[in-house]
Amino acid sequence: MMDRPLSAGHRILFAAAQLAALSAVAYTGTIVGELPAEVPIHISLTGETNAVGPRWLVWSVPIAMSILVAALWLLARFHATATAHGQELSAEAKGALIGPMRTMLGVLALSVAALAWEAPLAQSERFAAPPGLSAAIALAPLVIVLLGMIRLRRGAQTDPDVD
């Protein structure tokens, strides 16, 4: 059920994330023909190739991340009834929880969109990725979710309608 529309800021956040993820798909289309038949599909933290696979696998990450960004947008639009101890929360308490939750989902969507770029950039001869870029992209969503959960929990603890 959707009882609170997305704010303009949240719509912009999700649109930017989807645009970034879809542009990774488009960029993949420009480089896939230049790739060898087998490409590295897993690289260790030391930079050594652990596994190779067919070049079409380069498509999998950008497409999967585009789908995940769309799913996060849907999750932000629709939510279940917010309750605390079996009691329906007030409109103010719902707003205090839903706004930050949507912001966290939007920032997570941007991180996922950045992750969509990892596979095509790692394979592209046009771009030399700095060391540690893959690790930073992989850890960003985890950090964002943890910080968002802490913020939501602190807000819930200070709201008299929640406890």
pLDDT value at residue 26? 92
Going by C-beta distance under 8 Å and a sequence separation of 6 or more, which residues neighbour residue 12?
none
Domain count, the chain: 1
**70 lies in some domain:** yes
**Which of 151, 122, 116 minimizes the C-alpha distance to 49?**
122
Secondary structure (DSSP) of 13-52? HHHHHHHHHHHHHHHHHHHGGGS-SEEEEEE-TTS-EEEE
The most confident of the ranges 33-37, 77-81, 129-133 is 33-37
> Is residue 3 a part of any domain in this protein?
no
106 inside domain: yes
pLDDT of residue 155: 63
Question: Is 73 inside a domain boundary?
Answer: yes
Classified as helix, coil or strand, 89 is coil
User: Could you tell me the end-to-end alpha-carbon distance of the chain, in angstroms, rounded to an integer?
Assistant: 24
Q: Provide the domain limits for residue 98.
A: 8-158
User: What global pTM score does this model have?
Assistant: 0.69
pLDDT digits (tens, 9 = 90+) for 80-106: 555 556 677 677 777 777 777 787 788
Q: Classify residue 163: in a domain, yes or no.
A: no
Looking at the domain assignment, is residue 116 inside a domain?
Answer: yes
pLDDT digits (tens, 9 = 90+) for 114-155: 777 777 777 776 666 666 666 676 677 677 777 777 776 776
Q: Give the distance from CA 99 to its chain's centroid.
A: 17
Domain-embedded: residue 2: no
> Is residue 1 domain-resident?
no
